[in-house]
Amino acid sequence: RAKTSGRGTAEVFDEQLRRELAERADLEAAIAHGLVAGEFLLHYQPVVSVATKELRGFEALLRWDRPGHGLVPPAAFIPLAEQSNLICELGRWALGEATRQLAAWSAADAGRGLTMAVNVSGRHLGSPRILDDVADALAGSGVDPSCLVLELTETMIVDDVACTDRLRALRGSGVRIAIDDFGTGYTSIGQLQNLPVDTLKIDRSFVASEAPGHQELVRLIVSAAHTFNLAVVAEGVEEDAQLAALRTLQCDAAQGFLIARPMSAAAVEASCGLGARAMSSPEAAAPA
């Protein structure tokens, strides 16, 4: 059937390809417009000390309040944005917004030196403009460079000499570097010694796994990281038992739904005691 209708099939594919290209172009235009129109926002997920549960800082996570579509998660637009320089525009915006927010919270932070982690795309790190974008965010907000953490994945850090040099330059300016989703790529523990990084974020798949051996793997990662003076953050902690295990393994910090979901700046101010009208507990902040 496919053979006899070969010509029709080609037309169907043509039509489908044409439609997909048009959809991509529409989405790209909508992202570019959304940036100008102020449709992007950041949610913030608290990062806490494993030992004391004290707040250490936040990870900024991009959201798109696209008219008619609700709050769009990054998985629905970052991959497309990464195919063009749009991802650098989004990255520049996120760096500016996250540091501006941290500066505002630092006033209410009582000297805790809270950190703000921002995800950086490989394409943005691959471009020299990342250096200006980070410098502009720091200068514009006045935050202490050591409070800004740039999250990158393993492949971006290891693959390319120009990127590694850029990371060294960024780190030279005082900014911290974290490897996101650690364990899902191909970095060997030995390489950690030579990479310009400060923190490992252990991927959620290892934190959640009950597979025999995974706990040992996490123990190994933590002890290697500590040997090389790296801090370890566990991602995606959803259960008390996971947090207890991380404490035994001497993991430094954790984030995950168990502790708090990513939330709006207003919700952070209400629940973390950071706003001008800050309240001390989420209960106290609930609407009357």
The binding site for ligand C2E (CB under 6 A) comprises: 45, 61-62, 73-75, 78, 91, 94, 119, 121, 151, 180-181, 204, 235-238, 255-257, 262
What does each C-alpha distance from 147 to 53, 56, 101, 142 come to in angstroms?
A: 19, 10, 12, 11
* Chain centroid to CA 178: 10
Instruction: Using the minimum distance from each CB to Mg ion, give the nearer residue, 234 or 243.
Output: 234
Task: Provide, rounded to whole angstroms, the least separation between the CB of residue 28 and ligand C2E.
Answer: 16
Q: Is 179 helix (H, G, I), strand (E, B) or coil?
A: strand
Q: Which is nearer to ligand C2E, 6 or 79 (CB)?
A: 79
State which residue, 184 or 191, has the beta carbon closest to ligand C2E: 184
Residue 130 interface partner, choices Mg ion, ligand C2E, none, CB cut-off 5-8 Å depending on type: none
Kindly state the smallest distance separating residue 102's Cβ from ligand C2E, in Å.
Answer: 14
Residue 246 half-sphere exposure toward CB, CA atoms < 13 A: 31
Q: What is the CA radius of gyration of the chain?
A: 21
Name the helix (H) or strand (E) containing 9: helix 6-37
> What DSSP string runs through 197-248?
-SEEEE-HHHHH--STTHHHHHHHHHHHHHHTT-EEEE----SHHHHHHHHH
- Rounded CA-CA distance 182/178 in Å is 9
Other C-beta atoms lying within 10 Å of the C-beta of residue 25: 10
Least separation in angstroms between residue 235's CB and Mg ion is: 5
Q: Does 151 bind Mg ion (CB under 5 A)?
A: yes
**Nearer to ligand C2E (CB atom), residue 3 or residue 185:** 185
Residue 61 contacts which entry, Mg ion, ligand C2E, none (Cβ below 5-8 A, type-dependent):
ligand C2E
Shortest distance, CB of residue 180 to Mg ion, whole angstroms?
A: 4
SS3 47: strand
Q: Of 108 and 131, which CB lies nearer to ligand C2E in the complex structure? A: 131
Number of shown-chain residues binding Mg ion (CB under 5 A): 5
Among 45, 106, 115, 119, binds Mg ion (CB under 5 A): 119
Find which of ligand C2E, Mg ion, none residue 176 binds, CB within 5 to 8 Å per kind: none
Q: With respect to ligand C2E, which residue has the nearer C-beta, 81 or 230?
A: 81
Residue 26 to residues 29, 63, 72, 80, Cα–Cα distance (Å): 5, 18, 15, 11
78 binds, among Mg ion, ligand C2E, none (CB under 5 to 8 A by kind): ligand C2E
For binding to Mg ion (CB under 5 A), which residues are involved?
119, 151, 180-181, 235
